[in-house]
Structure 1
Amino acid sequence: MPLTKKNPRSKFFELLQDQIQNEFHASQQYIALAVWFDNEDLPQLAKHFYRQAVEERNHALAMVQYMLDTDHHVEIPGVPEVRNEFTAPIELIQLALDQEKQVARDIESLVRAARDADDYTSEQFMHWFLAEQVEEISQMSTLLTVAKRAGDDVFEIERFLHRETVGDGGDAADMPPVAGGAL
């Protein structure tokens, strides 16, 4: 069966391929955080991070769908090792916040690469992710503030998450299409 000719890779699409790996890695890291919280009998924190893992998976597959839609070759990458060893909930939340800040910088680089290439369609595609990172950083910052205020009373964080809605849970109506459908 002959292979179909695919569009050549620009810097933007090389970075997008890298970002797919970053999003899958974030998903796996969030699963590791969720499992740690589950093991510590902190069900609200576990549930929150399991949801975050699915959301990051959906982000990766939205990027995959965009590459497919624009006739670019896609490779599903492996992911780097995730961190599994922690001593306190605040460590995990700080790691999540740092991770989201790095993703925001990566998304900004993607927008810049699209703009530099006069690729307005790709730039527009990335705008949703820019807005999403504002929400992600805000929610992790709030969770970190609550954790710092709670101190050693981790059940205060649990009560906060049970009582408050933190983030959109990955249910944004305007999210780009996800390869295989969003979970």
Structure 2
Amino acid sequence: MALTTPAALVVNHVGVTVPDIHAAIDWYGSVFGFRCIMGPRELTAAGHAEASSVFGAGFRRAWQAHLLTGNSVGIELFQFIDPPTRELRPDQETAPGREGMPWFQPGLWHLCITHPDVPAMVERIVEHGGALLAPPYQFVPGRPWTLAYSTDPWGTVLELMSHSYAEAFSNWPQPGQLVPPTLVPRPNHDGVTQ
């Protein structure tokens, strides 16, 4: 059977670990308008076999809540109780096993939120206990797209982007783009660049 390219799938949700699930529900609700649609509920190793298989033998207890964004992508919050979530505060320059943003580690390293007024949203994040990592800037000279990086109060890296992902990243180089991108060629199966 020949393989075909699948249709683009829909992102369902992103999981985020926090040290205080109730504060996180309130924060994401008041800053971004995300609404809690379920929970928090308790997960235990004894009561939820799937939790033990996902989190491993050391897992004993956690709380979980589900938030809904404006485009129906879920944000699944976890607060680990036993063993507890290690807190990472935005004012820490270095945390155990992490320096700055975790961009160098495999896996997810930021969550991006679209908002037309990035500077105003950064201000709102900071007013609500988050921190600024990189101030708003026009990331493609000649185009109107603005982005910034910040954190929530628990250290989760948040990117803010003024325009949709599809608008900002489709069909490069774009008209009006002052600096063309340097695209990286794909190596063939022997590791040789094509």
TM-score > 0.5, shorter chain as reference: no
Instruction: Give the TM interval when normalised to the shorter protein.
Output: under 0.3
Higher RCO (C-alpha under 8 Å, 6+ residues apart): 1
Give the TM-score taking structure 2 as reference length. Answer: 0.24
